[in-house]
Each structure stands twice: as structure tokens, then as C-alpha cells.
Amino acid sequence: MTFWGADTAELVALARRFRDHDGQLTGTAEALQSAVAVVGWEGPDATDFRERWEQCRQKLSLTAGHLGSAAEHLALQAAQQDAASDPEGRIDAGDYGGMLGGEFLDWSDLINAGERVGDIWRDRIEAGDPESSLGSRYTEENPQWDPADVDIDQNGIESSLVNQGSLGDCWYLAALMAVQQTDPGLLAENISGVGEPPGADGWEVQLFLDGEWQDVPVSPEDLGVNGTMDDGTGDPSWATIYEMAMINANDGRASAVSADTPAAGLEMITGESARESDSIGQPSFDEYKQAIDEGRPITVMTDPMKPIGPARDDLVAAHVYQVSGYDEETGEIILTNPHGPNGSTTYEVRIDPDDPMYATSIFMTGIGE
């Protein structure tokens, strides 16, 4: 009998190369995004350049994602062939560069992994791999938790506190917090519970994607222990569900939602076009005050390329904050950190936007004129 197959060692070596290039492309895209964000350039050519760069950035991100998915698919193919050749049908997952998760896997595990819908990154998240960005399943770590208890009505959304967790999606969470303050009814309108009672079988979230509103399903089993939680209770909240919807909209890949722009977050949540300031057009206190008084959702991003200054140790570089208020007596605006009151960084920060220190260090994003 003739046996047709591949050299599995070469498959795994190729998978590792794909994974390495995924990381290199992602790092390059993030570095270029940081560089573009701080360029002090205005006018039609600047606008055209940024639009073309955004298209390029999206293609880089998509290509990186395809490389990562292909890497894990190749590792899975090699593992399936090795398991088929093993007398006991078992393989050591450690031989596949951490691309399968778990320790020892048998043939049935690998067949089921290959048959599930979606790429292997999503399989790992749904399996609750402790080594993934989201960590173990919340439902498994907290068996008494009832998903129907998540308060997704307007009052519940208004009263909860966001705690970012381990994912690098401050750009999205700060936008959620801004809309939580300015239009919690929109958030409540765009999330609905599935099952009886509502939420028992999960939720559907409306996000504005590719120019249209789309319903994104979220299952309770999607949620991981390292995701965003309610800072007051430590349990999943409406923000957890919104975060997971954004991940599911990216094929379930938590790695795909790190390091995007604040404008992308506001637009995805509200369906409206967001406007970003630059180093020349930094808004004044009066402009911030007007925007806040008009009820616009506003976020700011700190410069990813340089520290705020030696006098400030309460602002984190390359981080996005919600603009939650202002102090007219001091001329300061108040920033709120997505990491929550119990996080390791300062929760509320006050800055004077008219201070030259911030002229090229804080970039505003908001909805409306």
C-alpha cells in the first residue's frame, strides 16, 4: 500500500516561519501607525495620505492574520498526520510550537478541531486555552455564574465600571466608556439577550462594520477570564459582551483587536464618523468644554513615541482615555482610564490642554463638529 503524506517536521518549521512573520507584520503595522499618528501635517494631501495609509494598515493586519491562521492550520495538519501514524493516536502538543494548545492530544481531539467552523485562533479561544489572550473560559472558572444576570439595560450600563483586562484594546474600551456617558441608550438598544431568560444563551450586538450595521453573536462560552470585566463586581458586564462581539467580528482572533485607532472604536460603536485632532490642531479647554456640554463622546490618545514629561507619572504613553469632564476653575479636562479604579494605573487624570506640554502629546478623537 502506498502512503501519501507530508514531512511533518517541515510543516511545523513552515508554520513557525508563518507565525514569526505574522508577528513581524503586526509589529511593523503598529510602529508605522504610531509614526503616522504624530505627523504634524494638514491639508488635502495629508488627508489623502492618511486614507491610503489606513487602507494599507488594514491590508497589513489582514495579511498578518492570515499568516497566523495559516501557521496554526499547518501545525494542525502536521499533528493530525502524526497522530494518525502513532500506534495510540496521541501526540505531544508541545512539539508544535505552542500552536495547538493543551499538552497531549488524541486523534479525536484533532479531528474535532479540524471540523469546527472558523480558524484555529477562534478554536483556541472557544476551548478556553489558558495561554490565549482571553485565558480560560469564564463559565468554567465560575460555574455558579449565570449569564442571564448580566445587566444590559440602560440603567445597568450607566452604573457599571469598565476594567480593561489583559487585551490591548483601550482604543475600543475608551470609546465604549465615552458612549456609556453620553448615550447609554444607544448601547442598550444595540445589545440584546438570546434565550429565556434573555442572555441565558448569549447575546447579539450591533456593530457598525464595513459601512453597515451588523449583528454579531456572542456566546457565554466565548468569554475568557482575562477579558474586560465590571470593576465593581469582577464579573462579565455589558462591556465584556461588546468586547467579545468586536473580537468575534474579527474571526474570533483576540490578537486582531489590539492597537487600532480611537476613531475606529467610536465609529464601530456609534455608526458615526469620528474626527481626530493632530499635533497642530490640538483643541483648547473651551473646545473640549463645548464638546462635553454638547454631549459628544470624546477620547484622547497619548503620544506613543514619547513620554508626556518628567513631571507626569500618571499618564501612560500610547494609551487611550475617555474624556469624562472638565474643571472650569482650573481649566483642566478630566480623563478616565479604561483600566478601572482598581487597576495598576491612575484612574482619573487631570490635564490643562492649553499647557504647551500637551500640544504634541495628547490627540483628541470625538464625534461631531
Q: Is 309 found in the same domain as 358?
A: yes
| Boundary of a domain, candidates 235, 270, 305 | 270
pLDDT score of 72? 72
User: Whole-model pTM?
Assistant: 0.66
What is the number of structural domains in the chain? 3
Q: Is 263 found in the same domain as 151?
A: yes
| Boundary of a domain, candidates 270, 302, 328 | 270
> Using an 8 Å Cβ cutoff, are 105 and 79 in contact?
yes
Q: How far from each other are the two terminal CA atoms of the chain, in whole angstroms?
A: 73
| Boundary of a domain, candidates 127, 155, 180 | 127
Q: Is 336 found in the same domain as 318?
A: yes
Task: Render each residue's pLDDT in the chain as its tens digit; 369 residues.
Answer: 445 677 888 888 888 888 788 778 877 877 787 778 777 888 888 888 888 887 787 677 667 766 776 777 787 778 777 776 766 666 676 777 666 654 444 444 444 444 332 344 444 444 456 666 777 889 988 999 999 999 999 999 999 999 988 777 888 999 999 999 999 999 999 999 999 999 999 999 999 998 999 999 999 999 988 889 998 888 999 999 999 999 888 877 776 676 677 888 999 999 998 887 754 457 889 989 999 999 999 998 887 555 555 446 677 777 889 999 999 999 999 999 998 887 666 788 898 888 877 766 777 888 766
Q: Is 114 found in the same domain as 194?
A: no
In a domain, 347, yes or no: yes
Range of the domain at 363: 274-367
Q: Is 225 found in the same domain as 174?
A: yes
Q: Is 29 found in the same domain as 111?
A: yes
DSSP-assigned letter for residue 140: H
pLDDT score of 99? 67
Q: Is 19 found in the same domain as 93?
A: yes
